[in-house]
Amino acid sequence: MRVKLSQYAKMTGVSVRTLWRRIKEGSLPIVRSETGRVFVEIDEIKPRELKVCVYARVSSSENKDNLERQKERLISYCNAKGYKVSKVVTEIGSGLNDKRKKLEDVLLDKSINLIVVEHKDRLARFGFNYIQKLLELDNRKIEVVNVQDNEENDLMEDFVSIITSFVARLYGKRRSKRLTEKIIKKVVDEDTKSL
């Protein structure tokens, strides 16, 4: 049976770019039509196995009980949908923090093709759509269980998160500036002593 390259990419969960690289390497045999279209010859179509990751997050360690309940709700949701959960990730950290190690690991693990979250903001306060589009390039998806329609609450939560983040950065910069000033003073004092 022959299938188009784009169709084969969806079936195998590999990007078209990767398939072209394999064709150039000679590791993926192809058949060209009279018009120049590229087809892949396959014996049987194997559906791509769905590898599901549940991702739960809370902002502070004070909410550990909520984190556990969130995780259990997500697992129950996946069971009800017939998904086999292969990975459960829980994390404590701000939704504005773009250096969450566990989330990075999930996003970089290309074997996971479905990430299930309770709300969009559990994954990221901002940039959710960008993350979603980038994952789609690898035929991966994010499924949001509870899509909120109350934008007023979302905006207020985002506003509070932004102010909190900026205040933390401001105080962090002040501390950093004082430390830099101390280091400079120490270097100047040492240079003065050596003269």
Q: What is the pLDDT of residue 28?
A: 85
**pLDDT, tens digit, for every residue of 137-169?**
888 999 999 876 555 665 666 666 667 666 667
Q: What is the pLDDT of residue 46?
A: 54
Point out the catalytic residue in the list 27, 59, 111, 176: 59
Give Cβ neighbours of residue 90 (< 8 Å, ≥ 6 apart): 56, 57, 67, 68, 71, 102
Is 0.85 topped by the overall pTM? no
Q: Is 59 a catalytic residue?
A: yes
CB atoms within 10 A of CB 32: 9
Residue 82 has pLDDT above 80, yes or no: yes
Q: What is the pLDDT of residue 27?
A: 83
Residue 183 has pLDDT above 80, yes or no: no
Average pLDDT, the chain: 82
Confidence of residue 12 (pLDDT cuts 50, 70, 90): confident
Q: What is the pLDDT of residue 157?
A: 65
Amino acid at 57: R
Amino acid at 142: I
Confidence of residue 51 (pLDDT cuts 50, 70, 90): very high
Cα gap 20→45, rounded to integer Å: 20
Cα gap 97→71, rounded to integer Å: 20
Percent of the chain whose predicted confidence (pLDDT) is above 70: 79
Contact between 39 and 5 under an 8 Å Cβ cutoff? The reply is: yes
Q: What is the pLDDT of residue 141?
A: 92
Cα gap 31→46, rounded to integer Å: 20
3-class state of residue 88 by DSSP? strand
Percent of the chain whose predicted confidence (pLDDT) is above 90: 27
Phi/psi for 175 (5° steps) reads -60, -45
User: Which candidate, 149, 148, 145, places its Cα nearest to that of 52?
Assistant: 145
